[in-house]
Amino acid sequence: MTRALALHIAVLAALFAAQYLLPPYHHTNIARIMVLAVFAMGYNIAFGYTGLLSLGHALFFAAGLYTTGLGIELWGLSAAPALALGLIAGGAIAAATGVLALRTGGVSFMIVTLMFAQAGYLTILYFGQYTRGDEGFVITRAARSIGPIDLSADTPRYLTALALFSVALLINLALTKSRLGRAMIGMRENEERSRMLGYNPFRIKLIALVISGLYAGAAGAAYSVLFGYVGASFAAIQYSILPLLYVLLGGAGTTLGPFLGALLMFYLIDISSGYTTAHLFVVGAALLVLVLFAPKGILGWVRDKGAKWLP
């Protein structure tokens, strides 16, 4: 077993053990953070590994969230097929966006993905008759179960979030070791050189974006069932920026960075709000310090300081 795999398994084991040790408040928080970390992991695959700076990932998250939510509430699906549809929706919307947006690059890609996400947000509001627009809707508690397992109960919710996070993390780890993962990094480092070596940049970037969309869709789908709410605010610009901040904080291009970033960002807001009403100032100051002193994020800094094996 490599050091990297051992570290990842240790993190998962710690998260499994945490459910028995954490007080109820943090128990639910960690479940929520694991789901959001899957979203951020997806973002990291596009941004951290492939160099695609997107401002449209809220669209992919919302695709999973709404497909699952509407699947249950409008079409009467049970949670399991609705979750599967949410996953697929995230990937499909990412593919459709990528086919058009990947004709651009750099800042243009960022603007085009932002426009796609904004169009998605307005579409949700436009079909308010079904989506209840900005208010959103609640998924009835009875529908939030798979067979006899009630996903609105604390322990099943935690374990489901952990299962999703574990699968996502291990696939991410495998991806970084694979030929595809190395090709993705090649796109980030030098696209023209990769093209010269025979890679098709458009194809590789599209695959990376679809994988990223699948992650975001899975997170959105899981969020709707585990937490019981579907709303347009999750499709707004701030939910495209949040995974970027998680990744920048934890370390872009590191497998554990998105989780670490989501965890720290959550508790930075949560703890600072207990001391000051200006907690958003604290968050801003922390991000400034990070950009100035550890621009590669926390795990990027750790990797630079000697842990070269950190994936």
Supply the minimum distance, in Å, between the C-beta of residue 20 and another protein. 16
Q: Output phi, psi for 239, to 5 deg.
A: -85, -5
Instruction: Please report the DSSP string for 175-244 in residue order.
Output: HHHSHHHHHHHHHHH-HHHHHHTT--HHHHHHHHHHHHHHHHHHHHHHHHHHH-EE-GGGGSTHHHHHHH
- Of the pair 105, 133, the CB lying nearest another protein is at 133
Applying CB under 8 A, which part among 75-83, 105-113, 130-138, 207-215 lies near another protein?
Answer: 130-138
Q: Which x/- pattern over 31-50 shows residues binding another protein (rule: CB under 8 A)?
A: -x------------------
Q: Output phi, psi for 163, to 5 deg.
A: -65, -45
Supply the minimum distance, in Å, between the C-beta of residue 15 and another protein. 19
Q: Is 270 in the site for another protein (CB under 8 A)?
A: yes
Identity (one letter) of the amino acid at 258?
P
Choice from 5, 145, 279, 301 touching another protein (CB under 8 A): 279
Q: How far apart are CA 70 and CA 82, in angstroms?
A: 8
Q: How far apart are CA 295 and CA 198, in angstroms?
A: 32
Give the Cα-Cα-Cα angle 183, 184, 188 (nearest 5 degrees): 115
**Cβ(251)–Cβ(297) under 8 Å?**
yes
Q: Is 283 in the site for another protein (CB under 8 A)?
A: no
Supply the minimum distance, in Å, between the C-beta of residue 165 and another protein. 18
- Of the pair 279, 296, the CB lying nearest another protein is at 279
Choice from 99, 125, 163, 288 touching another protein (CB under 8 A): 125
Supply the minimum distance, in Å, between the C-beta of residue 125 and another protein. 5
Q: Is 19 in the site for another protein (CB under 8 A)?
A: no
Cβ burial of 133 (10 Å; 0-12, 13-18, 19+) is middle
Q: Is 259 in the site for another protein (CB under 8 A)?
A: no
Supply the minimum distance, in Å, between the C-beta of residue 144 and another protein. 9
Q: How is the chain split among helix, strand and coil, in percent rounded to 5? A: 75, 5, 20
Using DSSP, state whether 146 is helix, strand or coil: strand
Q: Is 138 in the site for another protein (CB under 8 A)?
A: yes
Helix (H) / strand (E) element for 117: namely: helix 106-126
Q: How far apart are CA 123 and CA 285, in angstroms?
A: 35
Choice from 233, 241, 282, 301 touching another protein (CB under 8 A): 233
- Of the pair 109, 227, the CB lying nearest another protein is at 227
Instruction: Please report the DSSP string for 275-306 in residue order.
Output: T-S-HHHHHHHHHHHHHHH-TTHHHHHHHHTT
Choice from 86, 120, 136, 253 touching another protein (CB under 8 A): 136
Choice from 128, 177, 267, 304 touching another protein (CB under 8 A): 128
Q: How many CB atoms lie within 10 A of CB 270?
A: 13
Q: Is 134 in the site for another protein (CB under 8 A)?
A: yes
**Cβ(171)–Cβ(44) under 8 Å?**
no
Applying CB under 8 A, which part among 103-111, 206-214, 230-238, 302-310 lies near another protein?
Answer: 230-238
Supply the minimum distance, in Å, between the C-beta of residue 156 and another protein. 12
Choice from 133, 286, 294, 296 touching another protein (CB under 8 A): 133
Binding site for another protein (CB under 8 A): 23-25, 28-29, 32, 118, 122, 125-126, 128, 132-139, 141, 152-153, 227-229, 231-234, 269-270, 273, 277, 279-280
